[in-house]
Amino acid sequence: MPGRKRKNGGCCFTDKIRNCFARERCTNLIAPLSTRARTGRIKVCKVTGDRKICARMAAMGLYPGVEADVICSETGSQCLLKINGGTISVGPEVSDNILVTSL
């Protein structure tokens, strides 16, 4: 079933949540965001965890296929992600559920 489209051409929120459980095609090494100890550009490959976590990440604009700038001070610490002109903070518990690859 193809995804429903909004009048402005974007995908509906339900499709973004559904895509959190699908694996996005990523060519490089895929690892949890919590294991990254450096800054730089990343691409989100998959968001794991329960539906509540996936829905919350999608509501903040973090779903498979999205590219972001990462600022992490050390492995397993809180990270700041710059996505679509905004900045979000992700704790270590949630960043374990976000699988990313470097760009």
CATH number at residue 42: 2.30.30.90
- How far is residue 73's CA from residue 57's CA, in Å, rounded to a whole number? 21
Residue 80 lies in a domain: yes
Give residue for tokens 């490959």.
45
Lowest mean pLDDT among 15-24, 49-58, 77-86: 15-24
In a domain, 79, yes or no: yes
**Cβ count near 85 (within 10 Å):** 6
**Rounded Cα gap, residues 78 and 93, in angstroms:** 9
State the residue range of the domain holding 79: 32-50+59-103
The pLDDT assigned to 5 comes to: 47
Number of domains forming the structure of the chain:
1
Cα separation, 53 vs 25, in Å, equals: 21
Please state, as a whole number, how many other Cβ atoms lie within 10 Å of the Cβ of residue 55. Answer: 16
Residue 46 lies in a domain: yes
- Residue 93 maps to a domain: yes
Look up the pTM and report it: 0.72
